Amino acid sequence: MSSANPPNTTSLPALLHSLRSHTINTLPALRRTERLVASLPPSTPNKADIAKALHDAWIYYVDYHSLLNELRGLTKTYPFSESCLEEAKRGVGKASGNYCYGVLKRVKDQGLVPSHARALAARPAMWGGRKPTATEIQKLASACEVEWTRVLNIVLRHWEG
């Protein structure tokens, strides 16, 4: 949003309500809102309240499985690992920056995908209850890793540029 076309301040109470009630609840919508809030002049009434509500909305988005559900919606062949996100969440503080971005970056930067893909591939439940061979584990783990990494890179693009 350019400074020549400032946001309508009468819509800010509605924005605040939407953030607090979690009706803004997808990654693209939260990112659009984040860019809008960043573009607000410092003198905007309730800017601090809106920024706090946005921060809390990101935490809710990650902690109540909306991020996991969106990732799984993009990884239909091999649904994204919940345990991978849970491990990443344990290493990211909620108080600073964008919690969702921090979690996703931790997954990527700490290389969490391969170990979680392998753990999933080794589960007998993935093989109809039987113990898989090392070759089967490697093949499934590689397929999960490729799909999860592709989607992780797609989602992280929301913060580029």
Amino acid at 91: G
Per-residue buried b or exposed e for 27-55, using 16+ beta carbons within 10 Å of the residue's own CB: beebbebbebbeebeeebeeeeebbebbb
* Amino acid 4: pLDDT: 40
Q: Which residues, in sequence order, are CB contacts of 101 under 8 Å at separation 6+?
A: 156, 159
SS3 142: helix
Q: What pLDDT, in 10s, does the model give residues 98-133?
A: 999 999 999 999 999 999 999 999 999 999 999 999
* Amino acid 7: pLDDT: 52
* Amino acid 10: pLDDT: 56
Stretches in the chain below the pLDDT threshold 50: 1-6
* Amino acid 96: pLDDT: 78
Amino acid at 21: S
- CA separation for the pair 53, 131 (Å, rounded): 47
* Amino acid 97: pLDDT: 86
* Amino acid 17: pLDDT: 93
Q: What pLDDT, in 10s, does the model give residues 60-69?
A: 999 999 999 9
Mean of all residue pLDDT scores within the chain: 92
* Amino acid 65: pLDDT: 94
